[in-house]
Structures are given as structure tokens and as C-alpha cells.
Structure 1
Amino acid sequence: MDDSGPAVRPNGIVAVLAVAGIVAAFMQTLVVPLIADLPRLLHTTASNATWVITGTLLASAVAMPMIGRLGDLYGKRRLMLACMVPLIAGSVVCALSGSLWPMIIGRGMQGLGMGMIPLGISALRDLLPPERLGSSIALMSSSMGIGGAFGLPIAALVAENTNWRVLFWGAAALSVLVAVLIWLLVPAVPAQAKGRFDAPGAVGLGAGLVCLLLAVSKGADWGWTSGTTIGLFAAAAVVLLAWGWWELRTRDPLVDLRVTARPQVLLTNAASVVVGFSMYAQSLIAPQLLQLPEQTGYGLGQSMVAAGLWMVPSGLVMMAVSPLGARLSAARGPKVTLICGALVVAAGYGSSQVLLGHAWGLMLFTAICGGGVGLAYGAMPALIMSAVPQSETGSANSFNTLMRSIGTSVSAAVVGAVLSQMTISLGGHALPSENGFRTGLAIGCGVAVLAALIALTIPGRRAAAAAREAAHAEPSTEPVA
């Protein structure tokens, strides 16, 4: 079978992969308008209904490193098309669901397809000339912000005015469209990596991540000191340590930890965790402030559709700054762009302390944060790809995306814990207090500053180039499987 695909058309490739990013982000926000109604729709409890979101998180986290490595071994276009299968099938399963378990399975299948995003970013390195790479990476990274920003009000409008199943049928149709566009416009490039797929490493990393993310995402429900939560954290530590031992000794590791330990890669991944945290914190806080009743004194009483529309400018700004970030990276290096992005996010959080109380103020705060996130998200893949061999681009970018996902999971847990502990009573219901929101915003600001400090320690372009040359000059110490 000929898998060469169409001829290289840079503009078409970038456009298709940007659309893919928008659709993937839409998949993640798809169920947000349904959260309150899921217990009734699926005949279950509110606690069990949260597995509809948790299942997607776990599946995507486990799948990303595997899909990235498979893309390096067997071709990124082939794996992107393969990722569309669970996205389409999962959407259909969700659309046909009438109870909890089919919905969880369908959302898990959608999560498996999320690995196409780091694959798409990695494919840009194979397909585009170097002078187009920076701007294209920035555009694709920012397209996910557009999908998230527009996804919420669109999903809310559909959920309010039609049957909720239309959301998932629409998601299936969008996924089919993306698959056709990839097939028609994205050419294949021969796989760069050699060797075999590390199945034991995939099982080990998957098991460790499931334990870690289950503990983080469900700790508030189960209790942070409960035996289940502590046991999962302990199991995650043991399994991930054993996984690291294996990865350092096998001939064809799932994740090359020696490359991952290079300062530029290690510190960029660390920055990804904290940038992911600060990005997600504001997306948790702002919609709640917009929708809380005005009787609280700080809530703005907006509908979900209106709240989503107030958040749209953040996605637009995120996309608008992508060419500026690419120019800055070309002139000064992606390290400087990452630092600037983190500082802009911190400035956005700082401004929030005086902008609360007005819908336009929250719009301005999230737009500032969106600009910073757009700069940072475009810089991080560039830093990763400039520090790893081309044969490991897929797995390295997927691992970086995984670090960002871990940051968002921790953010949800921390912000959720703060808001659940600092409450007021209104009409017999406990609601997050204004001080709780301000505390969450202050934490987001501090974490964004931490991201800038971590980015400052990333080696500059000359130091990174020297480190790569030294690594290539070292005698081989290849382990034996």
C-alpha cells in the first residue's frame, strides 16, 4: 500500500493541522455545558458523572507517549489517521449512550485520539522548511486556544436549544472532516526512528500515570489522607521508578530518558507543568465568577452561553500573538519567548485582583493570560524540537504535552481544594467565596512567575548547541535489552 500521500503544500498542511487542533480542543470542552445535567441524563450520581471527564484525561495521558513513539517508528501521518478512528468511534458511542458506562467508554476513546496534536506539531518539523517552522508551530499551538474558547459557547448553545446528542454527532462529523483533510493534504514522510516498540515501557508508564492522575483528580472526593488516595500516590511512585529503571536499560525505550535529562529538555518539561497549571487555573475561575449569582456581591449572574462568549477574546488573542511569538523566537530564541509568555500570564493574574466585579474586567484578564499562553505554547515545542534528534520528535513532543496535562490536573485539584475550603452560604448552598477566588488567582500568579524563573534557567542557544555537540561526541553506551 502506498502511504506517501499528497505532495507537500506548506500552507495546506499548516491549515489542516490548525483545524485539527481546534477540533481536539473542542472535544475537551464538549461536555462542560452538560456537567450539571449528566446525572439525570445518564441515570447516575453527580460523583460518578465526573468519570466522564476523568476518563478522557486518563486515556489521553496514557496514550500520548505511546502514540508519539509509534509516530516516530511508523510515520506520523499514518498515526494521525489512526488517531481519528477512536475520535470518530468515541463520538458515536457517546451520541448513542443512555447510561454512564457507554459514555465513559466513548469519552475514553476520544481521549485516545488526542495524541494527534503533538504528532501534528512534530510532523511540521518533517514537512516544512526551517524558515516556516517557528510560525507554523506557534499557529498550531494557538489554534487549540481558539477551539477551547469557541467550543464552550457553541456547545452551550447547542445543548440549550437542541438534543444533547447533537453535540456528539457534530463531534463525529468534525472528526471525519479532519481525517479527510489529513488524508488529502498531509503527505507522509519516511519514519526516522528504527527499532521496536517498547511494550513493557508503555504498560509501566500507563500504569504509573493512571495511579498518579487518579489520585490527583479524585483526591478531593475521596479525601487527600484516605487510604485509596495515599495508596495510589505510593503505587505511582513505585511504578514510575521501576519504569525509569527499565527505560534506562532497554535498547529501544518508549521515552529516551537520557535525552529527556538534557537541561534544555528537562527544564522545558518542568516549565510545561507550571504553564499548564497557570493556564488552567484562570479557565476554572473566570467562568465561575461570571455565572455565580449577583446576590453573592461578586458573581455576575451570566448564563453559560454569555459566560462562554466573554471568554472568546482570550482564544482570539492567543491566536493573534502567535506570529509575534514566532518573530520573537526567530530573533531572540524560544527561551526568551517562553519567559515573556510566562510573565504576561503573571501580569494577567495580577490585573485580575483589580478587575473582579465586571464582566469586561474578567474578559480583559483572561485575554491577557491568553496572550501569554499563546507565546508560551508556541515556544515550548520549538525548545523541545531543537534539543532532540529528528527520530525522537514525536515521542519528545508527546511527553512534553503529557507534562502540560499533568500541570492542568494538578491545577484543577489545587484550585478545587481552595474553592471548596473557602466558601459562603447562599440559599442553603455553599458557594466559593470572593477570598477563595482571589487566593486561587494569587496562586496562579505565583505559579506563572515560577514558570518564568524556570525558563530563565534553560540554556541559551549557544549553550544548548554546545551541549548537543558534546552529546553526539560521547562514546556509545547503548544498553542491551
Structure 2
Amino acid sequence: MTDRGGQQRLLLPTLALLTTITAVVSSLGAPLVPSIAETYDVRLTTAQWSLTATLLIGAVATPVVGRFASGRLRRPTILVGLAVVTAGTALAVVPMSYGVLVAGRAMQGVGMALLPLAIAVARDALVGEPMNRAIALLSVTTVAGAGLGYPLTALVAEVGGLHAAYALGTLLAAATLVMAWRYLPGSDEVAPMRVDWVGAALLSGGLLAVLLAVSEGEVWGWSSPLTLGLGAAGLTLLVLAVVWTLRSATPLIDLRMAVRPGLAAPNLVAFVAGLGMYCLLTLSVVLVRADEPGFGLGQPVLVAGLILVPYSLLSVLGNQLARVVRVRLGPALLLPTGCLMFLVSTVLLAVAHAHLWQLLVAMALGGAGSGFTFSSLAVLMVPHVPQAETGSAMAFNQVLRYLGFTIGSALSVALMAAYGGGSHGFRATLLTVSSIFVVAATGAVVLDRRLRVR
């Protein structure tokens, strides 16, 4: 073991590696979805579950893991989470059935729940502006990590095949586990919180049913009893989850805290930005790989990964731009500006997608919007949250972001099919997403004014 000074110096790099690598592992989905559909001979909407399963588990695991964020189990929880991710990537390497692949991808989703814990560690270890910078850095690494993971895993898949990409993920996750074991500090100040397993079951069951109905409705028929029954059952379970949570003494998610002044706007934008981000990423991959009359660029998986390079680079720039705007113009402009940057990206791609350069420009703008928006969320929330509730507040915001990721992943392909597919379906889906960003930007302005009136 290294000395205490060495541990302190390597703490932030370790946390950044943790959040980056878990984002890279979670990105082992979108650019590989068409290849998975070919390899396992399944429909594109079914193959999309290799991504959606990861995001769904991430959304459900985040509040469960977040219950330990302020307790002495924080360090072992992070280590166990990384071990599960490593095991999941190793399972996905095995060339067995599509169900085994999805199971491995689901295990990898646990890594997405570790970001709130990393932020809680940073808040305990740092103070003042260094803490704000660290939180912003950790928040944006999920975007940058996905952008790095797409071209990296696509290149490995192009050269070594589909399962070689998951082998790379196994090595990266294992290396991160070793770093975390060596340099991550423990916490013994607060007892761990109780986990509401009933709430977790209701939430996961409801989301799974709704997403199945959305993703498979095109095949089963939108008016079929199975689609309608699953959708109704899922919505019922989600309503029960809300009712249970509001009545629980130890709720999985503190819904009342989520709508407090200073938290409501970041939570709203987290959901919408997450949905828009994965709609943009998923549809971009569909555009690159498709080769239909009048639609698609007909490019290999490597190009599908490389389109994330401008997205990743501009996400880092967006993070820096958000800090400048916050310092010079104040925090009120952060969330509306981030939504408008996303809006420009989705509208541009909707109206111009015949050439690769048009896609790259739209992805660059989307990356800037992602970095700008996601790096702002935690910084805006922290001043309005007591230190003891940081883990819970960050976990809920992360849940909303992951719910947006999950719904965006499943909805984008299904909605495109519902609109008739091809160029028309592609355009209509992106314009639908664009309208949501207008609503989110308006909501952020209104909620910020309410905060200032108080």
C-alpha cells in the first residue's frame, strides 16, 4: 500500500477512472447492436436489449446502491460493484446464446450505479472549488467515457470480432477494480441505510413491462392483448411504486426531496437529456449502419464507433464552457442553454442526414450539449442538499438520467418503426425528441424563477 499522501493524490484519478471505465463498459452496446442482430440472428429491436438491459439494471441498481453512499459499506459496495461488472463482461465473452449475452450485459449495468458513490467520496475528501471541479469532472466522464468506448470497442470488434470487444471490457473493469482496492478510502462515520427491496421490485418490474411493450409492440401489434396488457401492468406497478415510496419510512427514492427548490429543475433536465442523448446515439448508429434505398450510409461498425469521437471531444469542451458560463453569467442559464444545444443537434440531424459530415456536425453539437448539461447538474444540486443527503440526491438524479437512457434506447428504434422507418421515420423520431427539449428548457426557466422568488 502507498502512503497517505500518495493515496490522496491518486484519489481523483481513481474516481475518474472508475466512472470513465464503467461508462466505457456500458457503451459496449449501441455500435455493436447491428452486429449482435447478425451474429445471433435476432431482430434489431430485440438486439437493442443488449443495450437496454444494461441501462435498465443501471436505473434500478442506482437507488439501491445509493442507500449505502453515506455509510461504512461505501468502499466494499464500490468494490463488489466493480467485481460484478468484471464478471458480467467476462460472461458476455462466452459465445453462447443471446440470452447469456443479455444476462452479462445486465450485470454490467451495476457499474452505472457507482457514479453517485464516486461523487460522495469526492465531496467527503475535497472542499470549495476543487470539490466543484471534481464533481463536474466525474459527472462528465460518463459522457466522455461513452464517447471513448464507442470507437474503441468498435475498432476491437472490427478487428477481433464481437466477443473481443467484451474481452477488452473485462480487462478494463478488472484494472479499475485493482485501482479502487488500492486507493479508495473507507468511511465509518455513518451507519448504512436500509434498502427498500419492495420499492426496488415494483420499480424494476414496472419498467421492464413498459419497455417490453414499447420495444416489441411493433412485432406483437400495438393493439394486441399482450402489448396492451404488459403496458397496463407496467404502468400499474410504477404507480404502486410511487405510492409505496411516498408511504415508506425508508423509501428507496426520496420523491419529496426530488421536487425541492434547486433540485426539481436539474432532475427534470437529467431525465430529458438522458432520453435525448440515447435517442441521438442509437439513431446515429442506425443511420450509419443502414443501407436502404433513400436512407442510410452503409458503413461498417468501425465507422459507427468513430462517430462518437467528436461527441466525446466536444463533451469535454462543453464541461469547460459550462464552468465559464456559471462563473461569468450565473447558474440560471446553465440548464436552458444545455437543452437548447441538444435541440440544435437533433433538429439539424433530422433535416440533414444524407452525408457523413452532417452526422459528425450534429454529433459534435450533441456532445457539447451533453458535457454542458451533465456537468452542470451536480454542481447546481449540491448547494441545496445537506451533506448527509448528498448520496441520496445524486442517486435519484442519476436514476432519472438512466431512466432517460433506458427509455431513449428502447423508444428510439420502436418509434422510428412506428413512424414507418426509413428517412421519414428517422426524421419524425428526432423531431419528436426535439420537442421534448423545448418543454425541458421552458420547465427549467420556470422552476428557477420559483426558486428565486422563494
Q: Which of 430, 433, 452 does residue 444 from structure 1 map onto?
A: 433
Change in CA separation of 1:368 and 1:447 when aligned onto 2, cut-off 3 Å: same
Q: Are the counterparts in 2 of residues 63 and 115 from structure 1 also a CA contact under 8 Å? A: yes
Question: CA, structure 1 residues 121+300, in 2 after alignment: closer, same or farther (shift >3 Å)?
Answer: same
Q: Deviations over 1:67-107 (max 9, x none)?
A: 11122334433321121011011111222242233323222
Percent sequence identity is 31
Please point out which of 157, 160, 165 is paired with 2:158: 160
CA distance in 2, matches of 1:422, 1:250: 41
Q: Distance in 2 between matches of 1:308 and 1:352?
A: 17
Q: Which residue identity does 2:422 align to in structure 1?
A: S
Alignment CA distance shift 1:34-1:416 (3 Å): closer
Distance 1:220 1:379, change over 3 A: farther
Give, in angstroms, the shift of residue 193 of structure 1: 6.0
Deviations 1:389-439 (A, max 9, x none): 32222222222122122223333444324422455xxxxxxxx43233222
> Does the Cα contact within 8 Å between 2:215 and 2:414 map onto a contact in 1?
no
Deviation per CA, 1:352-392: give whole Å up to 9, x if none: 35643332221111101110111110112223333333222
2:404 to 384, 403, 407: 407
Distance in 1 (CA, whole Å) between partners of 2:44 and 2:347 is 34
1:225-268: CA deviations, max 9, x gaps? 33233333333333333333333333322222221232432332
Show structure 2 runs of 5+ residues with no match: none
* Structure 2: distance between partners of 1:112 and 1:135: 25
Give me the whole-angstrom Cα distance separating, in 1, the residues matched to 2:43 and 2:283: 24
| Inter-CA distance 300–169: structure 2 relative to 1 (3 Å threshold) | closer
Q: Which of 155, 177, 180 is 2:178 aligned to?
A: 180
| TM-score (norm. length: structure 1) | 0.84
- Larger mean CA deviation between 263-272 and 361-370 belongs to 263-272
Query: Which of residues 383, 386, 390 is equivalent to 1:389?
Result: 386
Work out the CA distance in 2 between the residues paired with 1:418 and 1:206. Answer: 22
Match of 1:458, SS state, is: helix
Matched ranges for 1:275-294 at <5 A = 275-293=273-291
Q: Distance in 1 between matches of 2:6 and 2:222?
A: 52
Supply the AA of the counterpart residue of 2:373: A
Cross-structure match for 2:140: 142
Report the alpha carbon displacement of residue 273 of structure 1 after superposing the two structures with TM: 1.7
Q: Name the SS of the counterpart of 1:252 in structure 2.
A: coil
Does the 8 Å CA contact 1:43/1:100 hold for their aligned counterparts?
Answer: no
User: Equivalent residues in 2 for 1:196-207 (5 A)?
Assistant: 196-207=194-205
Aligned positions of 1:367-382 closer than 5 A = 367-382=364-379
Cα deviation for residue 199 of structure 1 reads 3.1
Alignment size in residue pairs: 454
User: Structure 1 residues 206-215 or 54-63, which shifts more?
Assistant: 206-215
Offset, 1:171: 1.1
Inter-partner Cα distance in structure 1 for 2:433 and 2:345: 10
Q: Give distance in 1, aligned partners of 2:202 and 2:21.
A: 30
Return the offset for 1:10: 6.2
1:63 and 2:61 matched: yes
Correspondence for 2:445: 456
Higher mean alpha-carbon deviation, 297-306 vs 253-262, is at: 297-306
Q: Relative to 1, partners in 2 of residues 1:393 and 1:211: Cα closer, same or farther, differing over 3 Å?
A: farther
Letter in 2 for 1:114: M
Question: Equivalent residue for 1:340?
Answer: 337
Q: Which residue of 2 aligns with 1:18?
A: 16
Q: Following the alignment from structure 2 to structure 1, what is the Cα–Cα distance between the partners of residues 326 and 9?
A: 20
State which of 89, 95, 98 in structure 1 corresponds to 2:96.
98
CA displacement 1:14-71 (0-9 Å, x = unmatched):
3222222222222222144543443664577767655433432332222111011122
Return the index of the structure with the highest Cα Rg.
1
Instruction: Return closer, same or farther for 1:190/1:213 CA change in 2, 3 Å cut-off.
Output: farther
Find the counterpart in structure 2 of residue 260 from structure 1. 258
Q: Is the 8 A contact 1:91 1:107 kept in 2?
A: yes
Letter of the structure 1 residue corresponding to residue 404 of structure 2: G
Of 129, 132, 136, which residue of structure 2 is paired with 1:131? 129
Name the stretch that deviates more: 168-177 or 194-203.
194-203
Counterpart in the other structure of 1:473? none
CA distance in 2, matches of 1:458, 1:10: 38
- Please tell me whether residue 83 in structure 1 is matched to residue 81 in structure 2: yes
- The 3 A distance-change label for structure 1 pair 299 and 103 is closer
Counterpart in 2 of 1:434? 423
Q: Which residue of structure 2 aligns with residue 307 of structure 1?
A: 304
Deviates more, 1:450-459 or 1:345-354: 345-354
Structure 1 unaligned regions, length at least 5: 424-431, 467-481
Worse-superposed segment, 337-346 or 380-389: 380-389
Deviation at 1:131, TM superposition (A): 0.9
Does the CA contact (< 8 Å) of 2:419 and 2:428 recur in 1? no
1:14–1:136 CA contact under 8 A, matched in 2: yes
SS at match of 1:262: coil
Structure 1 residue 351 corresponds to structure 2 residue 348? yes
TM-score, normalization by structure 2: 0.88
Match of 1:429 in 2: none
Distance of 1:7 and 1:76 partners within structure 2: 21
Q: For 1:284 and 1:103, locate their aligned partners in 2 and report how far apart those are by CA, in whole Å.
A: 19
When residues 242 and 442 of structure 1 are mapped into structure 2, their CA distance, relative to the original with a 3 A threshold, is closer
Q: CA RMSD in A?
A: 3.0
CA 1:118–1:232: 2 relative to 1, 3 Å: farther
Q: Check the 8 A contact 1:6/1:185 in 2, yes or no.
A: no
Instruction: Identify if the C-alpha distance between structure 1 residues 407 and 195 changes in structure 2 by more than 3 Å, giving closer, same or farther.
Output: closer
**Are the structure 2 counterparts of residues 204 and 289 from structure 1 closer, same or farther at C-alpha, using a change threshold of 3 Å?**
closer
Q: CA separation in 1, counterparts of 2:217 and 2:4? A: 48
